[in-house]
Structure 1
Amino acid sequence: MATSIPLTQISMPGHRAPTAGFEAPFEMLDACHERVERMLKLLARMQQRLLVRGWDESVAQAAHDVMRYFDLAAPQHHEDEERHVFPPLLDKGDDVLVAMVKKLQADHREMERSWVAVREVLASLTEPPPAGWTRISPEQAEVLGHFTGLYRHHLDDEDGLIYPAARAQMSAEALRAMSGDMMQRRGLEPPAG
């Protein structure tokens, strides 16, 4: 007898934008991490839906949503970290922090390389598949799994050690400069005053 999966577990609802603003840069970085988690969960639900129901328009929409986030927002987020979070820790951090930052910088490069293959898989799911297609290949599933695992470990390291250490070291002036740079690079006007 086939096990039925509740639709709530395989449906793919839309996503929400982060509520934090750039005037609170670490809160914005935290909100970006929440968004990454939502995108990784959407990617997992999309794969589950493919297994249970096959391809449909919701799979295509999920693929588009994940591509949009990792094409646009994720690179900006990595740049925020490379410019503002990592340098003070490399300059003033102890050996543990310096080693972790160097690992996270290497993660960013690996994520960029991995994204190319992930994007190719997702792009193939934005249109109806050819006749006879039943599911993504084991190799494609491995590509998606590697990307997800890489991001999850990366987020754990940043949230558990790096962000708290960077927050503790940053002055109010450095936070304002970080906020201004984050806004400027996104074409936004900093608040007056």
Structure 2
Amino acid sequence: MTSLLPDSAPPFDQPIAVLKHCHDKIRKQLATLQNLLTHLPSHGADAAAQQAAQAVQKYFNQAAQLHHQDEEQDLLPMLEATAEGIDAELLRTMKPEILAQHEQMEQDWHILNSQLDKIANGSGAALSPDDVARFVAAYTSHMEREEGHIAPMAKRIFSPTQMQLLGEAMQRRRNIGPAAAQAGGIALADLRLDYGRASLSEEDTLADPVAQFAKWFSEAMKAQVNEPNAMSVATANSAGRPSSRIVLIKQYDERGFTWYTNYESQKGQQLAQNPYAALLFFWPELERQVRIEGRVERTSSEDSDKYYYSRPVKSQLAAIASRQSQPIASRDEMEANYAAVEAASGGKPQRPAHWGGYRLAPERVEFWQGRQSRFHDRIVYTLQADGSWRKERIQP
């Protein structure tokens, strides 16, 4: 009734493939359930039936629970933090449905699990065809929706870093691999509680501020901070009058911190007059903030093209249709502009010259960790003339 040959599982550096592999194993267990329905009337709870029931119970009591946690605690929050345009709209609809399905399938499983208990120990041979059919249909439909929409979205919009973070979280949940060793097998919920008593010392921080930012950003993702990629961008005009707004970071590496926008917007005009800016990440759940200051320059046309064409088509069209920060008479006029651009594009909009990326090359980076009695920890990196970084503590 069950295969004795295990399928080769993909590595966790391919987390979406791992999730698909979990679905394949779920389908095998569902097939075993259906086979039990035909086996039991003729053979009762014999050794083969007991073995099959035990296998199904083991999977849905353990592995399936971890799979749902992968989706609820990591995959879906990461998608919410990244998705834009039509992807974000689809996710807003699908996420509540997926969570509701998880809850309903869990309830249906409890009913089946009690029946399988008796089959597994040989004390009974009753398995409800209706309960099995409902459970199989629900799971099958659920997996088809995820494979049709959620998995392709993740593969399309997640960066390599996000894929790595997702894979590490999945490993840690299973207490396997280097990710589990680094975290000591601590559950995310426990990790979050520990941050209420966190501290930050010079020894806690890495030598390079971008590497330290990557460490903290990874921890924010793992702790399911709300919008961990949201940052305040503060700019000033030639007269020194400042303004700030929230944007989403799209990339960070040794070159700096990158976001995309309209070059003719208020921030674009201010950066043309005064090419310096300050970024602020605030993660209140972890009592942390990161302040980054430096000179800003435009990304290459190639980088801007690459990101622009990775966006949903509707977001591409909106970048053309909107003269960001400029007055307009009404929402209706905005919609008319969008419709005109959509009609003219033929479904293949081209990146406009006024839209692209900015990259801030950091010169000063401060890591702030909240502490009791407002006696906070502040570690500051300052770029030196030779390209090295000076690290020091400053007072709260």
TM-score, shorter chain, exceeding 0.5: yes
Between stretches 59-68 and 160-169, larger displacement belongs to 160-169
Does 1:52 pair with 2:52?
Answer: no
Q: Is the strand fraction higher in 1 or 2?
A: 2
Counterpart position of 1:85 = 75
**How do 1:30-109 residues align onto structure 2 when only pairs under 5 Å count?**
30-91=20-81, 92=83, 93-109=87-103
Tell me how far apart the structure 2 counterparts of residues 187 and 171 of structure 1 sit (CA, whole Å). Answer: 24
Shift of residue 17 of structure 1? 4.6
Deviation at 1:116, TM superposition (A): 1.0
Corresponding position of 2:109: 115
- CA distance in structure 1 between the aligned counterparts of 2:144 and 2:174, rounded to whole angstroms: 26
Q: Report the residue type matching 1:79 in the other structure.
A: Q
The 1-side partners of 2:5 and 2:61 are apart by: 16
Which of structures 1 and 2 has the bigger CA Rg?
A: 2
**Partners of 1:17 and 1:122 in 2: how far apart?**
25
Greater relative contact order, per chain length (Cα 8 Å cut-off, separation 6+):
1
How far did residue 84 of structure 1 move?
2.5
Whole-Å separation in 1 of the counterparts to 2:15 and 2:2:
29
| Aligned with residue 160 of structure 2, among 160, 168, 172 | 172
Partner of 2:178: 190
**Residue 162 of structure 1: how far off its partner (Å):** 1.0
Opposite residue 113 of structure 2, the aligned amino acid is R
Look up the SS of the partner of 2:4 in the other structure: coil
Distance in 2, matches of 1:146 and 1:159, equals 20
Q: Which structure is higher in helix share?
A: 1
Question: Could you list the runs of 5+ residues in structure 2 that have no partner in the other structure?
Answer: 182-396
Deviation at 1:107, TM superposition (A): 0.7
Corresponding residue for 2:189?
Answer: none
Could you say what the CA RMSD is over the residues aligned between the two structures, in angstroms?
Answer: 2.1
For 1:129 and 1:185, how far apart are their aligned partners in 2? 35
Deviation at 1:18, TM superposition (A): 4.6
Secondary structure at the residue paired with 2:12? coil
How far is the alpha carbon of 1:177 from its aligned partner? 0.8
Shift of 1:15: 5.6
Q: Aligned partners of 2:123, 2:169: CA distance in 1, in Å?
A: 43
Quote the residue 1:143 is aligned against. Answer: 131
- Distance of 1:54 and 1:178 partners within structure 2: 43
How far did 1:190 drift? 2.4
- Structure 2 Cα separation of the partners of residues 30 and 64 of structure 1: 23
Contact 2:45 2:120 in 1 (8 A): no
Q: What is the CA-CA distance between 1:94 and the residue it aligns to? A: 3.4
> Helix, strand or coil: the match of 2:120?
coil
- CA positional deviation for 1:46: 1.3
- Write the distance in 2 (CA, Å) between the matches of 1:119 and 1:53: 20
- Cα distance in 1 between the residues matched to 2:100 and 2:37: 27
For residues 173 and 88 of structure 2, the distance between their equivalents in structure 1, rounded to whole angstroms, comes to: 30
Contact 2:119 2:126 (8 Å CA) reproduced: no
User: For 1:65, what is the secondary structure of its paired residue?
Assistant: helix
Q: Which piece of structure 1 moves more, 14-23 or 173-182?
A: 14-23
* Closer/same/farther in 2, CA of residues 181 and 88 from structure 1, 3 Å limit: closer
Q: Secondary structure at the match of 1:190?
A: helix
Please tell me whether the aligned partners of residues 60 and 125 of structure 1 are also in contact (alpha carbons under 8 angstroms).
yes
Native 8 Å contact 2:74 2:169 kept in 1: no
The structural deviation recorded for 1:111 is 1.5
Q: Aligned partners of 1:12 and 1:189: how far apart in 2?
A: 28
> Which whole-Å CA distance do the structure 1 matches of 2:5 and 2:56 have between them?
10
Report if the CA contact (8 A) 1:46-1:59 is conserved. yes
| Aligned amino acid, residue 41 of structure 1 | A
- How many angstroms apart in 2 are the aligned matches of 1:152 and 1:183? 25
Instruction: Normalising by structure 1, report the TM-score.
Output: 0.82
Aligned length: 176
Contact kept in structure 2, 1:61 and 1:126, CA below 8 Å: yes
Which residue does the alignment assign to 1:23?
13
Q: CA deviation at 1:55?
A: 2.6
- Code of the aligned partner of 2:58: R
